[in-house]
Chain A
Amino acid sequence: MDYQSPLAKVRGLGSAKSGTSHWWMQRVSAVVLIPLSFRLITFLDQSLNAPYQQTVDWLASPFNAVCIMAWILAVFYHAALGVQVVIEDYVAAEGPKIISVWAANIVFLLLALAALIALLRIILAG
């Protein structure tokens, strides 16, 4: 049974068909982030207090490198999904809403790339 009026159809309104996966991936990334957050806190503690070489060695160890890289991928994805929901809730006008969501996604993508490149530089330089 199709409840959409023909006019709504040609206007392209209605469900975008991506709501479920948005909701689901928010949960998947959340579960991934629970254990990884504790690695992040260890990294932050290292880099705020430890000598330079100690922090580099910590990050260059394969286990920590994988954890921090996975954290970077998961956290920026999780943040982008979450901020999108907040924007959609509070920005009523269609145009500004779409532009804000795009802008937020682009900023998170660039920040994630900057973080990944920094991590790779540390690992490769050792």
Chain B
Amino acid sequence: MTTNTNRPISPHLQIYKLPLTGIISITHRITGVLLSIGLIFFVYIISSVADGTDSYAAMQDLMSVWLIRLIYWGFIYALFFHLCHGVRHLIWDTGQSFENETLEHYAKIELIASVALTLFTFIFV
């Protein structure tokens, strides 16, 4: 028996254009992994507080470097993105809002909310 190589295959990720909901879904996973790695920074920061004034000052100097400060704000955005889409997952878990239009609608709300929360933190905290 010969194999039909011309049969339909599932859309390949590099060819298939992901819808907004699909992009947000994979971003949720990526931000989750990045935030997990970022926990190393938290351990470093809290340990530097425990080690006393010298290590605290060294930590503050390091965290003031503009590139590191930019990465820090990237992490804050990642946290809010993961939090907003996480809330979306909790709503889904109750069995609600799986309709196409609400999916698209909530996706936009999540994006706006995560940017707004990051800006709010930047300006007011």
Q: Which residues of A contact B (CB under 8 A)?
A: 27, 30-31, 33-34, 37, 40-42, 44-45, 47-49, 52, 55-56, 59, 68, 75-76, 79, 82-83, 86, 108, 111, 114-115, 117-119, 121-122, 125
The tally of residues in B whose CB lies under 8 Å from a CB in A reads: 33
Residue in B43, B56, B59, B93 whose beta carbon sits within 8 Å of that of A115 in the complex: B43
Given the known interface contacts A41-B76, A82-B32, the answer about A111 and B39 at a Cβ–Cβ threshold of 8 Å is: yes
What is the chain A residue whose CB lies nearest that of B75? Answer: A44
* 28 intermolecular pairs with C-beta atoms under 8 Å apart: A30-B86, A30-B90, A31-B90, A37-B83, A41-B79, A44-B42, A44-B72, A47-B60, A48-B60, A48-B63, A48-B64, A52-B49, A52-B57, A55-B49, A68-B46, A76-B39, A79-B35, A79-B39, A82-B32, A82-B33, A82-B36, A86-B32, A111-B39, A115-B42, A115-B43, A119-B46, A122-B46, A122-B49
Count of inter-chain pairs, beta carbons less than 8 A:
85
Give Cα A42–Cα B98 distance, bound, in whole angstroms.
35
- Asked whether B49 lies within 8 Å of A114 as measured between CB atoms, the reply is no
Q: Which residues of B contact A (CB under 8 A)?
A: 29, 32-33, 35-36, 39-40, 42-43, 45-50, 53, 56-57, 59-60, 63-64, 72, 76, 79, 83, 86-87, 89-90, 93, 121, 125
What is the chain A residue whose CB lies nearest that of B121? Answer: A41
- Tell which of A27, A34, A37, A49 has the most Cβ of chain B within 10 Å: A37
